[in-house]
Amino acid sequence: MTLALHERFARSASAHPDRIAVADPARGSSIRYAELDRFADRLAGRLARLGVGAGERVGVVAPKSIPAVGAILATLKAGAAYVPVDATAPARRGTEILTDCGVRAVVAERSLAPALEEAWGRELPLQPLGESADLGVELVLLECEGGDPAPVEGLAYILYTSGSTGKPKGVVHTHASAACFVDWCVDTFQPRPDDRFSSHAPFHFDLSILDLYVPLSSGASVVLVGEEEGKNPLKLAPLIAGSGITVWYSTPSVLRLLVEHGGLERHDVADLRLVLFAGEVFQPSHLRRLQEAWPGRDTWNLYGPTETNVCTAYEVVGGVPPDRADPYPIGKAITGDATLVLGADDRPVAAGNEGELVVHGGTVMVGYWNRPDLDARAFHAGADARRWYRTGDVVREDDAGDYVFLGRRDRMIKRRGYRVELGEIEAALYRHPGVREAAVVAAPGADGVRVDAYVCVRNGEPASTIAMKRFCAENLPLYMVPDRFQFLDDLPKTSTDKIDYVRLAALGG
Supply the pLDDT for residue 68: 97
**Between residues 319 and 414, which one has the greater pLDDT?**
319
Instruction: Report pLDDT for 82.
Output: 98
Instruction: Tell which CATH architecture fits domain 412-508.
Output: 2-Layer Sandwich (3.30)
pLDDT for 165 equals: 65
pLDDT grade, residue 495 (50/70/90)? very low
**Taking Cα atoms as reference points, which of 385, 394, 388, 377 lies closest to residue 339?**
388
pLDDT at 494: 57
pLDDT tens by residue, 239-271? 999 999 999 999 988 898 899 889 998 999 999
Q: Which phi and psi angles does 362 have, rounded to 5°?
A: -65, -30
Please write the tens of the pLDDT for every residue from 64-79: 999 999 999 999 999 9
Domain 337-408 has CATH 2.30.38.10: yes
Judge whether residue 278 has pLDDT over 90: yes
| The model scores a pTM over 0.85 | yes
Mean pLDDT value of segment 9-29 = 97
pLDDT cut 90: percent of the chain above it: 73
Predicted confidence band of residue 417 (pLDDT cuts 50, 70, 90):
confident
User: 187: pLDDT confidence band, cut at 50, 70 and 90?
Assistant: very high
- Domain span(s) for CATH 2.30.38.10 in the chain: 337-408
Q: What share of the chain is helix, strand, coil (3-state, %, to 5)?
A: 35, 30, 35
CA distance between the termini of the chain: 56
If DSSP codes are grouped into helix, strand and coil, which group holds residue 310? coil
Domain ranges in the chain with CATH number 3.40.50.12780? 5-186
Average pLDDT over residues 86-113: 95
Question: What local confidence, expressed as pLDDT, does residue 509 receive?
Answer: 64
pLDDT at residue 150 above 80?
no
Which part of the chain has CATH 3.30.300.30? 412-508
Is the pLDDT score of 410 beyond 80?
no
DSSP-derived 3-state class of residue 309: coil
Least confident of 148-157, 167-176, 186-195: 148-157
Class of CATH domain 5-186? alpha beta
CA-based R_g, the chain, Å: 23
Give me the pLDDT at residue 337, please: 98
pLDDT reported for residue 61: 98
pLDDT at 112: 97
CA distance 468 to 452: 12
